[in-house]
Amino acid sequence: MSEHTGSRPHPPISRRSGQSLYLQIANDLRRRIAEGELRTGDPVPSEQALVERFGVSRGTVRQARAMLRADGSIGGSQGRTLAVQGVNLTQPVGGLITFSAWVRSLGMRPSGRLLRLSPEPVAAAEAEQVGVAPGSVVYRLERVRLADGEPLMVDRTVFPEAIGPMLVGIDLDSGSVYAELAAHGIAVASAGHRIDAIAAHCP
């Protein structure tokens, strides 16, 4: 299957639409898969081909490809050419599965980058969700989560104050918080998810 390698940006993306470029590229590739232009087993257009097709940076292309790997639209072993999977493997919203387990189920390596871990008063809207009294202290954990080194999401988690001291000794960049808590005899019985779509900024 030939790849388009022209140097002019492809019409489907717009820098004035308000939608991030990597998301527009990911959506264009999804459209091509849905319409059968890219079939299951076909190689995914290379980074260079997509850079030339859309007139964007390699970082933007990598974000788009990472998004498609994360949802199962494309896949492949580390170091090998990515191929169209044809089936989306999405995390079940109704179930409780850790990010690390979800990413490993996609054949990718999970990791993270700690942004902050700090004790602070719980927000009024969060108190009931966390199961603490208004004004109580909670620990707020914020991390960038990555799959095969590519950023996929910003994870913000709020823990009751009693959990905070245990988090301090955990490797929050590469370890699983829930696995570490389980090792301390603490099982997570319930958790709430709120998912927001935000624009990503490539450094």
Can 21-84 and 99-183 be said to share one CATH topology? no
* 47-88 tens-digit pLDDT: 999 999 999 999 989 988 888 887 778 887 655 688 888 645
Mean pLDDT of 14-29: 81
Give the CATH fold of the 99-183 domain: Chorismate lyase (3.40.1410)
Flag whether pLDDT at 102 surpasses 50.
yes
- pLDDT > 90 in the chain, percent: 18
Flag whether pLDDT at 169 surpasses 70.
yes
Residue-range domain boundaries for the chain? 21-84, 99-183
Separation of first and last alpha carbons in the chain = 33
CB atoms within 10 A of CB 47: 15
**Given this model, what pLDDT does residue 45 score?**
93
Confidence (pTM) = 0.51
Determine the CATH number of domain 21-84.
1.10.10.10
How long a stretch of residues is the chain? 203
The DSSP result for 99-122, as a single string, is: HHHHHHHTT--EEEEEEEEEEEEP
* 113-156 tens-digit pLDDT: 999 999 999 988 888 888 889 999 999 999 998 888 888 788 88
